[in-house]
Amino acid sequence: MAEASRLEAGASTDSFTHRFRLRRATANPRTEDTPVSETISPRTTTSTPPPTPTPTSTSTPTDEVTAAHSTPVDTRPRPTIRERGSRAGGFAFSALLRVVLSGVVGAALCAAWIAAHQAGLLHRALGEASASLPDFLLLLFVGLPLALVASALLAGPLLWLLGVRPAWPIVLLGPVVLAAAHYFDVPNLLAGTGDQWVVLAILAGLSYALAGLLTIPTMLMRSRKS
């Protein structure tokens, strides 16, 4: 009897303890996933703010390429119609003067060469060697090369002194046009103007004038560079 009552008293004590713990757990609920340290004494952690990014340029590679290849805006005032007309008139006058002066220089050099030949300067320079050569061969193999060299050396400075710029295309192209005229038998077309020497001087003037006309684009190139 005494042992049975002791067991009943222990059972009632255990049930009371179980009820007390149940009430305490109901009053202070705690999840199993929550650590004990956070439930008992939560610690405040100080977080440092993230660094503020420095402002950078917002230009993209496409904008840089576009800015590199963009053409600058021309702020100069556009020329008026009168100014354009005066420029065109000035260029036309310069081109006409180029053609005329080239023809005059070519004819003058040919006339000087003819005068030197008729005065016998070539025979005097060659001496006895010229006596054994006919006049045709003497003119072809000696007189013509000397005339070309002399015209190349003298035409450029004369044209430059007369204000023709640039002069080197005329110096190079003038003898070529003259040789082409002889090849196509142009002197026979001018036979009615005088003897062969007059025809040769006229043909040289026309050849150099045509060379000046064909080389007018070099004036444009020179004006654009300047």
DSSP notation for the chain: -HHHHHHHHHHHHHHHHHHHHHHHHHHS---TTS-HHHHHSPPPPP-PPPPPPPP-----HHHHHHHHHPPPP--SPPPPHHHHHHHHHHHHHHHHHHHHHHHHHHHHHHHHHHHHHHTTHHHHHHGGGGGGS-HHHHIIIIIHHHHHHHHHHHHHHHHHHTT-SS-HHHHHHHHHHHHHHHHTT-TTTTGGGSSHHHHHHHHHHHHHHHHHHHTTHHHHHHHHH-
pLDDT of the residue at 72: 54
Structure confidence at residue 16 (pLDDT): 56
Q: Which long-range contacts (CB under 8 A, 24 or more apart) does 53-62 make?
A: none
**For residue 131, how many C-alpha atoms fall within 13 Å in the half-sphere facing its CB?**
3
**Is it true that the peptide bond before 166 is cis, omega within 30 degrees of 0?**
yes
Q: Has this prediction a pTM greater than 0.85? A: no
The pLDDT of residue 31 is 45
Q: 139 to each of 121, 122, 128, 179, 206, how far by Cα in Å?
A: 12, 9, 16, 14, 21
The one-letter amino acid at 139: L
What is the pLDDT, as a whole number, of residue 118? 84
* Residues in the chain, pLDDT under 70: 1-77, 79, 82-85, 127-133, 135-136, 226
Q: State the pLDDT at residue 71.
A: 52
In this prediction, residue 146 carries a pLDDT of 81
